[in-house]
Structure formats: C-alpha cells, structure tokens
Chains A and B, each alone.
Chain A
Amino acid sequence: MKKILLLLFFSFLLPKIYAQEYFPNNESVQNKTTNFTAFTNAKIFVTPTQIIEKGTLLIQNGKVVGAGTNLTIPKNCTTINLEGRSIYPSFIDIYTSFGIEKPKGMSSTERNPLYDTKRVGYYWNESIRSEINAYETFKYDATKAEELLKAGFGVVGTHVPDGIARGSGTLIALNNFERKNQLLSDKITNHFAFTKSATTTQSYPSSLMGMMALLRQLYFDLDWYKKGNSTTKDLSLEALSNNEKLVQIFATEDKLNSLRAAKIGKEFGLNYVLKGNGNEFERIEEIKKTNSKFIIPINFPEAYDVSDPNQANQMELKDLRFWNQAPTNLKILSDNGIVFALTTDKLKKLEDFRTNLLRAIKYGFDKTKALEALTTIPAAILGKSNEIGTLKTGSLANFVVTSGAIFDEKTILYENWVQGNKFVINDLTTKDIRGNYDLTIDNEKYKWKINGEISAPKSEITTVDAKKVNSKLSMTNNWISTVIKPIDSTKTSFTRLIGYIEDTQNLSGKAVLFNGNEVKWSAVKTSAFVKAIDSSKIEKNNAIMPTTFPNVAYGNLKKPTTQTLLFKNATVWTNEKEGILEETDVLVKNGKIAAIGKNIADASATLVDAKGKHITSGIIDEHSHIAISNGVNEGGHNSSAEVTIQDVVNSEDINIYRDLAGGVTTSQLLHGSANPIGGRSAIVKWKWGAPAEEMLYKDQPGFIKFALGENVKQANWGTSNPTRFPQTRMGVEQVFTDYFQRAKEYDLSWKTYNSSNKKGKAPRVDLELQTLAEILNKERFISCHSYVQSEILMLMNVAEKFNFRVNTYTHILEGYKVADKMKEHGVGASTFSDWWAYKFEVNDAIPFNGPIMHNAGIVVAYNSDDAEMSRRLNQEAAKAVKYGNISEEDAWKFVTLNPAKLLHIDDKVGSVKVGKDADIVLWNANPLSIYAKVEKTLIEGVVYYDVQKDEAQRVAIAKERNELIGQLLQEKNKGMTTQEPKKREKKEDHCDTLEE
C-alpha cells in the first residue's frame, strides 16, 4: 500500500518535468520519464455509451494510451487497482468566466449619456468588443479550479462576459499542477449577448431591439469591411472577421431571446450555439425549430418561503410554477431531440451543480444523456471530440474515479484526473469501517456501532446492559481515534482509543485509560453496516404542473383552434353600408366571416344564442406599447429607423389576454417617442398562446414611428446639460430634412449600382437609411407622434418636399387647429378622446378634437397608448358621441374600421363583412356603453377570450396556486434552503418610457 502511495506521489511530479522540454529548468536535475499508469479492475466509460466492465485504462504523458480488458501493461508502469470502481471522462463546461476579472462598471457620477465613442480604432459602438481575447486577460484561478474539479469538471471554456460582441473565448484544462499545460486553445469560441458593456456610458443601444439592429448592422459592416471598402482601420471588425471560424456562442438568457438570436443567425447564415436560461421548455416547439445547439444552466430556483401568506400572496403563479417545472427542462429538451451541453453558469455555488443535476434526473432526465451533455456534446460543439470528452486513445487523460454510477445519489467521487494529474476529491484509500463490533477495552465489553459516511464515520457505544456511553470518533489517513466519556457525568476523565486500521473486520490498538494507563483494545465486527433510511427524508417528486401557452396565469392548456360558430339573432354593427342590423345571424367558418343575414343555417356550426347581444368587428388599437420585451424606445440616437418592434414582440404578456377581454383583436405596437425618427412598428393580432412570430399580422404593411415635440427635444429631462441634437422644434425639422436627404442619396447610390449590373464597389448597407428610403419610395408609412399645430404643419411640409405623404398623425391633439391642412395633405389621425394637461404641449388639447377632424373629412381613430385604456377603447369611442355628437355608428368606427384604414389592413379586418377575417367580438350590451362587457373575442375564427372560460381559469389559478404553495411548504419542512418571496414589478410602457 505504502509503495503505491509513494509511486502516486511521484506521478504528480513527473509530467511537470517532461511537458516543457525546451523550458529552462532551475528546480532540479532533468528527470524525464515516459512511465505509464494503469488503472485496473475498473468500469470504464470510454464514452457515455461505450462501457468496458472490469477493464484497464492506460495513460501516459497526460493522455489516454488505451482502454480495454486485455491491454498489455508495459513494464515501466504504475498499476492502480480500482477494485471495481468506475472511471468517467471528466466534465466540460464551455460557458464560464473562469479566471476572468468581472469588468468594472461605471460609477454613478460617470453616467451622463454619451452619444459618440471615445475609443479610437475600434467599432463606433462600445458594446461591440469583438477585439477582446479572453486569453489575454485570463489568470488561472486555482481556488475556483478546485471547486470545479470537485464537481467533476476537467476542462472549461472561458470568456469575458461583457458587451454585445464579447470577443474570443479560450479553452482551459483545470490542471492545478502544471501551469504550462493549462491552455488548450487560445481562441476557440466567439461570444455574443444581449447585454451592453458595463464599461460604457454610451446611450446606444438602450433597448433589446436596438441591440438586435446593431448586430445586423455589424454583420453588414463586417462584409463591407472585408471587401476593403473602409478607408479607416477598425480592429473590432478585423477581430470579428478573424474569429468567424470559431464556435459562435450567443448568451440569450431567455427562451424568447434564444428565438431572437436564432433569427438573426438565420439572416446571416450563422448557427449560434445558444446559451439559454432554463426556461426553454416553455416554448419547446419553437426552440426546436431553431435547429440550434444549446448550452443550458441548471440554476433551478430555490423554493420560496411561503410560510407568511401575506408575502406569499405577492408571488405570481408564473414564478411559483417555474420553481415547480424548472427541473423538467432538461428532460423536455432531451425528449425533443435538442442537442445541448450543460453549464455551471448562474449557480450560486458549485456544489449545487450535482444536486440540481440529480434533481433533473429524478424528474426524468436520462443519465446517459446527462453524461453526454457534460462530455461528448460540449467536446463536439467545440470540435474537440478527439481530445476531450471521451477516454479514447489519444484523448487527454481527464477522468473521474467514482464509487459507482456517477449520477447515483450515493456515489462518491474520489478523484478527478486532469492531463494525468490526480486531484483528490475523497480519499480512495479510506477504509470503510462502518458496522457493528464487539469492543473490548482492558477486558471490559461494549457494543460499538459505527455508522455515518465512509470518510466521516460516527460512533455509538453502549455497555452490555445497553447503557449509552458518549463517544466521539475521528479518522484520518486510516488512523482511527475515539474519545470515550465516562458514564458518570460528574467525572471529567476520558478514555482515548487509537489504532491503525489494517483489517476492517478486526480493529485494534492502544487505549489510554482515564488514569493514564495504556492498555490494548480490540473490536471484532459482528455484522455489516446497513444504512438506516429515514423515510421522512426521502424526497418524493413534486407533481409537475402542466405547461400552458404562454406559461403564465390565464395561459391555454392547449393552443385554441378555429371553430365554426353561428351567432343567432344578434345586433350586428357591420361598419359597412348596411349599418347596424337587428336580429341578425353571423356565421364564422374557416377563420372567415362566412355569412351575415336572417335565418342562416349550418349543420356543422356550434350555435351561439346572441339574442339581445351585440356583435362587432374586433377593436383595433392603432397605438399600443404592450407586449414589448426590454424597451419600447431605442432612444440612444436621434434616429433609430434601423430598429423594429417586430423583433421584440413578447408573446407572454398578460396584457394581451386583458386586451382580448376588452375586445381588442389587433394592435399596432409602436416604438416610443424619445427620438424624432423612431423605430419600425409591429402590427399584431392577439393570438394568446401563439408564439410571437405567429402573432405578427401576415404580409403587414411597413410602418415606422416618428415623433415631434417635447419628448424628442428632451424638454422634460430636467436641467442637466443637453448633449443631443435636437433640443428645439427648429432642430427637429432639420433632423428630418437631413435624414431624408441622406436617404435620398443612399437610395440613389444603390439604384445606380443595381442598374449598372452591380459593377464596381457596392455601397455600404445602412439599415437606417434603407428604412428611410422605403418611406421615400412609398413602401413604408409613417405614424407620427404629434401635438401642436406648428410641428404638424412642419412634417407635412417636409414630406411634401420629399414627395411623400405622412400616413398617420398619432396623438395629434391640436389636429383640430389645422384639420383643413391635414385633409389637404391626406393624413389620418389617431388621437386620444379626452387627454390633456399632462404637459405644456397638450394645454390646448380638447375632447372635441376627434369630432372636429372627423367632420372635416379626416379618417379619425381613438387609440390607447396605455395598457389599461386599451381594454376600454369601446368607452373611448363613446366619448366621441358625448363630446362631439358623432353618431354611434360612426363613433364605433373610431376604434375599428378607421384604425384599420389607417393601417391599410381594412381589406381583411375592421368590419363585419362576408369574406373578411372572423375577428369579431360578442358583447352583452351596446358596445359604446359603460355597462357593456365582452363575452367572446374571436380572431380568425378562434375563440381567444370567453367569459365563461375565464371564470373557469380563475378557479384553476386559485387551485394551482394552493397546490404549489403546499409543495413549497413541504419543501421548507424537509429543510431545503428557501428564498424570500419576491414581488414582480408592474411596468406599463408609454410613448415616453425610457429604459435604464
């Protein structure tokens, strides 16, 4: 035994000497060897599926020489008999920031917005840091490495987690013994994320959509730069170009962001490896369709401490549910054939890695898949299958020695070898002395029960007549020592036993009695150790709550499908020349309005008695900011035409459901009003449960948000020094003229290039100018936030100069002052019914504005710009009746047909007409009345809101909450660590909502 230990000790030292043969050696004499080490009698997992029973693993020079059952063991070989223990390839974590110092953020005093960069020679945006190389700042962190080694890892990828383009990552062997062998690959991965750099105060991009637009522009610029078009040097673009062949990793940290990153990847022919956050199961179908590989963390949320019902009340179902469902993510990903590696990222402490992984396995994740996700898959992702992740010949000798199946709860991890160097997790040579013994000390007989863990056994001594004797046992290096207290508690003298363990059946040694006399003691094993199982401690799997679409309160268990419905005897507000029809039937079939009239019959239809009820087309909100992820404004520049809300529609927002309950079926999601030229819109249909891409209105006309007045000139930003142009309405005009002039020139340069059969150098693609050129070419419409008469006239003036028309003025609260001019120009108006007095520019806003413009022949809509008002737009329409004596029929069009016209979608929606989309609402009363409530809301024949189903949902939500709180309480009783309940911030976005 001692001999082996000694040899093992030498094996630490040997590689250090041979590995760097050309390095000067000032430590000792040259002692080069080519000795082998053989691990015999082991169950060897060469790969997760290639397993050798009772085999031998032979390694030399830090690499695997072979693994098999009848290997010839060379003479110069140290042999370690593993006595039936198992060998697994060490784990790989591609996604860490091991050895990287956390980038420092700005102090609060430095946080004044910066519009231009202070860097020289790099990309204009400071969050593009592709020139960063992790290996240049990397410092091996031996302490952290020990933690990783204990968790079973042998190799990690590391990078600088800062910025949107983060530069190259490096691959490190966790070799705590040989510094020179640690670097496996200097540049192996190239990193991206939707996070601004902590080191910059640059304003742009301030939103997620801005980051997406920036990435697109970056790839266009890269292409352009590579073709040698740039006259200046850009080290960021050069690095990006050089790193194109590396593995491209995108940290999305969210399921929806994964879809977004994959979308960008698809556009540019890149297949990012997506680093998710563990909620992929909630949109698994779409995740699967990305065809991407993933890196998945397992930082499952700790149970919430819900023992205080008042605090528990503040928790939302989606958070409670996520706690419950998170452990099933890996199984669901795996069942769907998604290729993924696991990461330790985001774990509070590394010990949680094994605990959580075992938890995922308990919830159905396959053990072989788990091993693959930690070995062969990350190796394959990195293109390093021949070097790491397996124990095939030639691979690095990175392996873990365990007592048994690696993902078995009872299994002990003994050693983690990296490049042939042993790291001890638990001492393999520790003997298992647990069991029941007859103990004899100086002829006195006792019963001795040794239990607990192998490495930390516990002692229970009783006298022959079953009296308990207090004792404490400790064991190090197979030396056992036990202190025994006297039975008489008034005495302070102890008996101490000590002995070296040679034979676990017969223990013996020297006892020092309380009086100082030394005698012999011995213990003979009478029965083997049986682990007592405390049934209360066995963790039963929690019942997993079903995932809904979306996976929040009021989500659908199944995605709803189209129905054939026949509404009988309703009052139908057609919005067509037929007007309002009494006692009329409406047939909905194949997603369309199939028939309107009296006594309609259809055998296949489900009848809905609508007597005394009203049917209208769905409400259309021309100006909404709900269901937008991470920022409605890209306010970092005075123009952000390159961004689009279509990138950031948030399909999981509860406000979608609430809008449906208010009869809203279609909305235009607009960029905010922080800058004169905002971003492109998304026109969406509120198909609650569907993914965002399916919510986008098909073949939708292109829109962009413009803005005028106080918001764009930052009038209400306080007194800090303004740095961004414009700060006056005068400047706003100049922004528009300048941009349109540049767009005109841009468009011309492309037209010239394209008409000359693309000869010569292509102009640079500029997404911003391209969008503006679309306006000039009448391929995109403007919806412009506006208030006072001067600016209203100004923009029409600019448009006329550039030969296009402003499509819509939104807000347009002084439209009534220039209604004749608006009519002349042909612009429509989407306004508020009665808002005013919230800022100086709305001082002359009047509730008669809509009616005056309507009577002047302008297409007038009422919009919400507000999540709450959005669900009561029917009431806003009624205010046109109240304030302006508009007929009820016309007033109703303010929130249905008129916005449809403004959005150029009135061919499909906006009225109840045969052939149009069956986007209709069933009301219990006149829809203009405060007493009207929605009973059903349909989009394309699918019932997305139903008042009765809503009632059932409420009951189900209460029941599920109660069940989950029960599970959480049990978790706390079991002694699991818990976290305090958290309350979700409620945030409603408006035009002037700025991020940060």
Chain B
Amino acid sequence: MIYKKIYLVVLILSVSTVIKAQQTPAVKQSKSVLILNATAHLGNGEIIENSAIGFVDGKITLVADARVIRLAAGAYDVTIDASGKHVYPGFIAPNSTLGLVEIDAIKSSDDEDEIGAMNPNVRSIIAYTADSKVIETVRPNGILMAQITPRGGVISGSSSIVQLDAWHWKDAIIKENDGIHINFPSTFKRSGSWFEPGSIEANKDYSKQILELSAFLSNAKSYLGASSKERNLVLESTKGLFDGSQTLFVNANEEKQIIDAVQFAKENGIKKMVIVGGYEAYKTAELLQKNNIGVLLRRVHEMPENDDDDIDLPYKSAKLLTDKGVLVGLENSGAHERMNTRNLPFLAGTCAAYGLDKEQALQLITSNTAKILGIDAQCGTLEQGKDATLFISEGDALDMRTNKLTNAFIQGRMISLETHQTKLNDRYKTKYNQK
C-alpha cells in the first residue's frame, strides 16, 4: 500500500516518468530532479539536515543545504518534497554472487564456482543474470550496486562491478574485471576422509601451498615480462594485478593468514590488495593500516568463531578496525547469501549499535566500499559529479524498523521498487480484502 501512495506522488511530480511493469529497467534520465528537505546522509560521514540534492543526466549536480541555497524557479524539471525523509547514496554489496545463482539447491541454476584451482581467467560478469528475480528484491532495501564475484578454487577468477537495474550484463557494468579473488591457504585443515571426518588440525602443507601460489604468480610475471609466441590465457589474465588496474582480493580470516597474505602480495609485486573476510583482521590492524590495505569484513550477523570469543566480536569488529585507521567495507557472503543481500544495511546498523557512529557505519556500505573497490570517483557518496545512484527512505535506512524506500535512482533513472514479491503481496491482499 505504502508503495502505491508514493508512486502516486511521484507520478504527479514527474508526469513524463512512466512507471512500467516491474523489473523493466528504467529509461535514461531525461528530466532533472531535485530532492528537497530530506536529511541527506552523504556517505562520507557528513549529514545535511535540510538538504537539496539535484541531479541531471544521471550525475549529481547539487548537494546543498536547502535553507541556504537559492534556486531559480524551474531550475529542475521535477521536485520531490522529502521532508522528514532521508536520502542516502546507493548501498554497494561487494563480494556478491547475485545473478550467478538463482536458487541455491538447484545445481542447474548455479554458476558461481568453476572447477580447477587456478582460474584467474574465469570472468563472473558473463554469467551475471541481470534480470534475476533475487536482484529485484534487494533494491527496495537500498542496495543498488554489487561486485559480482566468482567462488571456489585457490584463484577463483575475476569479478566485475555492476548496477542493479539493467537489461543484461553489458548494460549493468560499472567496472569490468575490477579484481581477482583468491582463497588464501588456511593454517588449519580437517583430517580424515570425507565419510569419516577427523578433527581439525594444523595444516602441515600451509607453507607449501603459499609457495605454490607464489610460484604461479611469479610464473605469470615472467610470462608477462617477455613476448611469447604462444599465448597463455591463464597467465595473461593476471596482468592487471601487476600494473595496478586490478585489485587482488584475498580471502583470509586468521591472523597468521593475513600477515602472510600481506607479505605474499608484497613479494609478488601486487599493486593493490584487499582482505576479504578478516575475522581476525583486528589483530593485524596496524599492519593493514600501514600498508593501506582495506578489509571487506565478513558477515556481521554471524556467530563468533570460537566459544571463548567475545559474543559480540563479529558485531564490533568494524569498530575495532576503524579505530585503528583501517578502511572497512562490509560483505555478506555465506549461507543464503543472495537473498540475504537485502539485509546488508542492517549489518551496518549493527556496527553502529556496537561502537561506530551511524554515519561511520553508513560508510561501511557506501564510500568505504567504493574506495576499496576503486569506484569512489564515480559512486559511494552524494557529491557533485558522481553518479546519481541514491534513494529516499522514510526513516533511518540502517534500521529495519525504519528502512522503507519511497524512491530509488540508479544513475539518475528512477527504478522500480516493485518485485514479484510485492506483486504476490498485492494479489493475495486483494484475495483476502486486506488493506
């Protein structure tokens, strides 16, 4: 019901904006839009209480205090009065498999994990299903961009960053092949066989496995340094790691792993790296800060790894890292991860409940993530010149109690907030005469 009311308002405001059937990507922005009087959370830590946010041709042109700024009448084609509401930059879901798997249990819908250990050449983007039914359900909670990431193996493959309102994968790209993802060897491993699993013991091959990974990269570097008649597509695909055009995303959670991973990246001449997971990253915060390595912190809403850990360790980890000057973004991989993407804002909310201030917590899913992914020139904050990828919420968008979107824009295009789920809701409410 609430959505309908909003659309009505919007319709009146912007006559030319036709609301099409759900999930049809919105057309290119043709009218300039001004959002007035909302509390604007810029995503860089700042707030403007009574804001004026304007955007034209998909880019933000105005971020100002509405009480101060003077605008000529008709300066913007459409004005949305958002008094009492909140404006946020679109949230970014990094290390995501949206569009790679439709239904977890159905293998034929699963394209996230290629076989083989070393797959830097495997590209997630070509398997990205832009019109996945899951994707449309995450947008109404404010998630408007994602880094589509392959899983599995030692080197899983190459990710790309997309916006979540597109006809197809080409249409969706914000940054293609932004990074290569590896699963760093673990210091512990399970003993026994698959049908008689033993205990978890120290991984005796740990050093050997790191050496193997290093050997692969140094082999790649040698290959790239010389011209070869026979092309090796696997090795060639790592080029971006050495020239700085691609980031190395290292999945590592243990303290020792992280320290070794930092050393590993240095030794192999990796220009930019990020730790993904980082359960014990707080123990290595100084090292990470010194080397300017960001952390995509693993799912905040999870159990502590060890019984002895502080019961709220996953909740306060972002605070511990932020206080030490580490750049932190939040990721949400794990069980039910795709459908659970819509709860990303609440992960940030929990970080605020456990130590960060709310604007800092917001950065964990906006500007910090944009910086970590290397797209901060284009998105992540409400700032002039950036993509007009933003949304209006009735209340605090980090709290499920008040996260209720009225409008969302991707690159200036007002996207549909309908989903097959809202449609079913409407259908059955009608059936039971519910309001």
B51-69: CB near A (< 8 Å → 1, else 0) gives: 0000000000000000000
A902-946: CB near B (< 8 Å → 1, else 0) gives: 000000000000000000000000101111110000000000000
Q: Is the CB of B201 within 8 A of A852?
A: no
B99-128: which have CB < 8 Å to A? 102-106
B353 at the interface (CB under 8 A from A): yes
Given contacts A837-B338, A879-B400, A983-B200, contact A867 B303 (CB under 8 A): yes
| Residue in chain A with minimal CB distance to B195 | A108
Q: Is the CB of B434 within 8 A of A852?
A: yes
CB contacts (< 8 Å) of B193 on chain A: these are 108
Given contacts A847-B421, A930-B349, contact A837 B311 (CB under 8 A): no
Residue among A655, A875, A928, A980 with max Cβ neighbours from chain B (10 Å): A875
Given contacts A553-B307, A710-B105, contact A837 B134 (CB under 8 A): yes
A920 to chain B, nearest CB (A): 20
B254-303: which have CB < 8 Å to A? 254-256, 301-303
Interface size on A, as a range, is 35 or more
Q: Is the CB of B353 within 8 A of A950?
A: no
| Residue in chain A with minimal CB distance to B431 | A820
B343 at the interface (CB under 8 A from A): yes
CB contacts (< 8 Å) of A933 on chain B: these are 353
CB contacts (< 8 Å) of B409 on chain A: these are none
Q: Is the CB of A882 within 8 A of B303?
A: no
Q: Is the CB of B200 within 8 A of A982?
A: yes
A208 at the interface (CB under 8 A from B): no
In the bound complex, CA of A817 to CA of B429 (Å)? 10
A885 at the interface (CB under 8 A from B): yes
A846 at the interface (CB under 8 A from B): yes
A844 at the interface (CB under 8 A from B): yes
A817-852: CB near B (< 8 Å → 1, else 0) gives: 101100000000000001111111001101110001
Query: Which one of A314-322, A325-333, A600-608, A683-691 is at the B interface?
Result: A314-322
Interface size on B, as a range, is 35 or more
B198-224: which have CB < 8 Å to A? 199-202
| Residue in chain A with minimal CB distance to B347 | A930
B2 at the interface (CB under 8 A from A): yes
A4 at the interface (CB under 8 A from B): no
B243 at the interface (CB under 8 A from A): no
CB contacts (< 8 Å) of A846 on chain B: these are 421, 424-425
Question: Which of B201, B402, B432 has a CB less than 8 Å from the CB of A820?
Answer: B432
Q: Is the CB of B353 within 8 A of A872?
A: no
In the bound complex, CA of A949 to CA of B301 (Å)? 23
Q: Is the CB of A553 within 8 A of B188?
A: no
Q: Is the CB of A981 within 8 A of B202?
A: yes
CB contacts (< 8 Å) of A855 on chain B: these are 429, 432, 434
Question: Which of A843, A867, A985 has a CB less than 8 Å from the CB of B103?
Answer: A843
CB contacts (< 8 Å) of A762 on chain B: these are none
B404 to chain A, nearest CB (A): 6
Q: Is the CB of A868 within 8 A of B255?
A: no
B305-353: which have CB < 8 Å to A? 305-308, 310-312, 336, 338-339, 342-343, 346, 349-350, 352-353
Q: Is the CB of A838 within 8 A of B401?
A: no
B402-434: CB near A (< 8 Å → 1, else 0) gives: 111000000000000000011011001101101
Question: Which of A875, A926, A928, A950 has a CB less than 8 Å from the CB of B346?
Answer: A875
Q: Is the CB of B398 within 8 A of A980?
A: no
B399 at the interface (CB under 8 A from A): yes
A881 at the interface (CB under 8 A from B): yes
Q: Is the CB of A878 within 8 A of B303?
A: no
A230 at the interface (CB under 8 A from B): no
B195 to chain A, nearest CB (A): 5
In the bound complex, CA of A738 to CA of B251 (Å)? 52
Given contacts A819-B432, A929-B401, contact A835 B307 (CB under 8 A): no
Q: Is the CB of A840 within 8 A of B105?
A: yes
Question: Which of A318, A839, A872, A980 has a CB less than 8 Å from the CB of B301?
Answer: A872
A816 at the interface (CB under 8 A from B): yes
Q: Is the CB of A878 within 8 A of B401?
A: yes
B12 at the interface (CB under 8 A from A): no
A77 at the interface (CB under 8 A from B): no
A933 to chain B, nearest CB (A): 6
Q: Is the CB of B303 within 8 A of A834?
A: no
Q: Is the CB of A929 within 8 A of B103?
A: no
Q: Is the CB of A834 within 8 A of B343?
A: yes
| Residue in chain B with minimal CB distance to A879 | B400
A79-121: CB near B (< 8 Å → 1, else 0) gives: 0000000000000000000000000000010010000000000
In the bound complex, CA of A214 to CA of B398 (Å)? 51
Question: Which of A314, A820, A847, A875 has a CB less than 8 Å from the CB of B306?
Answer: A314
Given contacts A848-B421, A852-B429, A984-B306, contact A930 B400 (CB under 8 A): yes
Q: Is the CB of B308 within 8 A of A314?
A: no
In the bound complex, CA of A932 to CA of B190 (Å)? 38
B1 at the interface (CB under 8 A from A): yes
B273 to chain A, nearest CB (A): 21
In the bound complex, CA of A930 to CA of B353 (Å)? 7
Q: Is the CB of A950 within 8 A of B311?
A: yes
A937-980: CB near B (< 8 Å → 1, else 0) gives: 00000000000001000100100010000000000000000001
Residue among A552, A654, A838, A930 with max Cβ neighbours from chain B (10 Å): A930
Q: Is the CB of A817 within 8 A of B400?
A: no
A72 at the interface (CB under 8 A from B): no
Q: Is the CB of A985 within 8 A of B339?
A: no
In the bound complex, CA of A658 to CA of B301 (Å)? 13
Q: Is the CB of A931 within 8 A of B353?
A: yes
CB contacts (< 8 Å) of B187 on chain A: these are 310-311
A988 at the interface (CB under 8 A from B): yes
CB contacts (< 8 Å) of B342 on chain A: these are 834
In the bound complex, CA of A834 to CA of B340 (Å)? 8
| Residue in chain A with minimal CB distance to B313 | A954
Q: Is the CB of A986 within 8 A of B202?
A: no
Q: Is the CB of B303 within 8 A of A930?
A: no
CB contacts (< 8 Å) of A657 on chain B: these are 311
CB contacts (< 8 Å) of A931 on chain B: these are 349, 352-353, 399
CB contacts (< 8 Å) of B338 on chain A: these are 837
Given contacts A848-B425, A929-B399, contact A658 B311 (CB under 8 A): yes
CB contacts (< 8 Å) of B1 on chain A: these are 885
Q: Is the CB of B303 within 8 A of A885?
A: no
A761 to chain B, nearest CB (A): 45
Q: Is the CB of A317 within 8 A of B200?
A: no
In the bound complex, CA of A163 to CA of B74 (Å)? 85
A793-824: CB near B (< 8 Å → 1, else 0) gives: 00000000000000000000000110110000
A814 to chain B, nearest CB (A): 10
B365 to chain A, nearest CB (A): 13
In the bound complex, CA of A816 to CA of B255 (Å)? 47
CB contacts (< 8 Å) of A816 on chain B: these are 424-425, 428
A543 at the interface (CB under 8 A from B): no
A355 at the interface (CB under 8 A from B): no
B123 to chain A, nearest CB (A): 24
A875-891: CB near B (< 8 Å → 1, else 0) gives: 10011011001001000
| Residue in chain B with minimal CB distance to A842 | B103
In the bound complex, CA of A852 to CA of B343 (Å)? 21
Given contacts A875-B346, A926-B401, contact A844 B424 (CB under 8 A): yes
Given contacts A837-B134, A882-B400, contact A852 B353 (CB under 8 A): no
Jot down 6 A-B pairs with beta carbons below 8 A, ordered by A. Answer: A314-B306, A317-B307, A716-B105, A834-B342, A834-B343, A846-B424
Q: Give me the interface of A with B, judged by CB distance under 8 Å.
A: 108, 111, 310-311, 313-314, 316-318, 552-554, 654-655, 657-658, 661, 710, 715-716, 816-817, 819-820, 834-840, 843-844, 846-848, 852, 855-856, 867-869, 872, 875, 878-879, 881-882, 885, 888, 926, 928-933, 950, 954, 957, 961, 980-986, 988, 996
| 10 extra interface residue pairs, beta carbon distance < 8 Å, beyond A836-B137, A843-B103 | A317-B307, A553-B307, A834-B339, A838-B104, A848-B421, A856-B432, A878-B399, A930-B353, A930-B398, A954-B310
**Top-9 shortest CB links A-B:** A930-B349, A839-B105, A848-B425, A983-B200, A837-B339, A846-B421, A310-B256, A553-B308, A838-B104
